[in-house]
């Protein structure tokens, strides 16, 4: 397909590369900042533009991969070209596009993407929604050229997925940073705990988290929990978080029996 990328951030960058690698033609890369557009366009042999009036109409699909706040305005402006138009946002409904066009859809990658880190795109779940069956089919076909994990997900479910991603990715990463901070304060290198973090995530590739729960709270080991709270005594914020999550784990374990 002939694809126009709107945006030049993390998601735009990863999608442009994945489409290009799968043999699609990236026609143009649009960004408000021409330097940003040019950098990405260079990598995927596309034309960089910073003006929507320079859009090349010889394209099959606009992929709007910008921050959420820009989607509405861009959709409105791009609707005059009458092409399939998708956004890539987990938190934005299909309606933000479908109010402007009858060729709208969503192409949401459920993965944490950074420019400075490569991912194997074949393993990235892509959540598809189309405003009608023709669009849905077109998007499914396109998604399957870059990923082995393509799901049909409606706007309500996508909101839940986006929320779940906060609990499964952003919050765990914050807890890793708490460990980082505790280790640093005690002259221990973060390296020592990296294998534990990886194994914890690998375990739930095989089991469900509810089955994999371990630790002092899971066995209601109050001696160890009290000792941990004592160690955290100088930091009431962490102490409270420790108490809160431990109580939830204890409650969860009780519910199992």
Distance CA 152, CA 104 (A): 15
Six-digit token string for 146: 């870059």
Choose one: 14-22, 76-84, 131-139, 246-254; the region binding a second copy (CB under 8 A): 246-254
Q: Are 85 and 79 in contact (CB under 8 A)?
A: yes
Binding to a second copy by residue 241, rule CB under 8 A? Answer: yes
Binding to a second copy by residue 222, rule CB under 8 A? Answer: no
Rg of the Cα trace of the chain? 22
> Of 45 and 237, which CB lies nearer to a second copy in the complex structure?
237
Choose one: 20-28, 95-103, 130-138, 244-252; the region binding a second copy (CB under 8 A): 244-252
Q: Which of residues 149-168 bind a second copy (CB under 8 A)?
A: 149, 151, 153, 156-157, 159-168
Residue (of 219, 173, 217, 214) closest to 197 by Cα position: 173
Count residues near a second copy (CB under 8 A). 89
- For residue 88, the minimal CB distance to a second copy (Å) is 15
How far, CA to CA in Å, does 21 sit from each of 10, 26, 120, 163? 17, 10, 11, 30
Q: Which of 173, 220, 222, 233 binds a second copy (CB under 8 A)?
A: 173
Six-digit token string for 26: 């990236």
Q: Which of 54, 80, 95, 244 binds a second copy (CB under 8 A)?
A: 244
Q: Which of residues 66-125 bind a second copy (CB under 8 A)?
A: 68-69, 91, 110-112, 114, 117, 119, 123-125
Residue (of 209, 205, 227) closest to 218 by Cα position: 209
Six-digit token string for 27: 């026609």
């Amino acid at each position: 397909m002939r694809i126009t990328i709107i945006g030049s951030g993390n998601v735009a960058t990863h999608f442009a590369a994945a489409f290009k690698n799968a043999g699609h033609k990236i026609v143009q890369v649009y960004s408000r900042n021409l330097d940003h557009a040019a950098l990405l366009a260079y990598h995927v042999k596309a034309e960089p533009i910073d003006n929507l009036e320079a859009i090349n109409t010889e394209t099959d699909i606009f992929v709007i991969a910008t921050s959420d706040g820009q989607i509405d305005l861009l959709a409105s402006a791009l609707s005059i070209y009458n092409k399939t138009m998708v956004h890539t946002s987990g938190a934005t409904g299909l309606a933000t596009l479908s109010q402007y066009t009858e060729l709208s859809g969503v192409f949401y990658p459920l993965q944490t993407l950074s420019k400075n880190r490569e991912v194997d795109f074949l393993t990235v779940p892509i959540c598809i929604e189309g405003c009608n069956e023709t669009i849905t089919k077109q998007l499914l076909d396109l998604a399957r050229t870059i990923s082995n994990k393509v799901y049909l997900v409606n706007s309500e479910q996508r909101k839940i997925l986006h929320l779940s991603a906060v609990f499964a990715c952003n919050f765990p990463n914050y807890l890793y940073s708490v460990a980082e901070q505790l280790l640093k304060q005690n002259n221990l290198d973060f390296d020592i705990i990296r294998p534990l973090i990886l194994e914890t995530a690998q375990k739930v590739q095989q089991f469900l988290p509810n089955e994999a729960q371990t630790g002092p709270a899971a066995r209601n080991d109050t001696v160890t929990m009290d000792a941990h709270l004592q160690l955290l005594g100088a930091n009431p914020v962490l102490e409270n978080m420790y108490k809160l999550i431990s109580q939830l784990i204890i409650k969860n374990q009780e519910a199992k029996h």
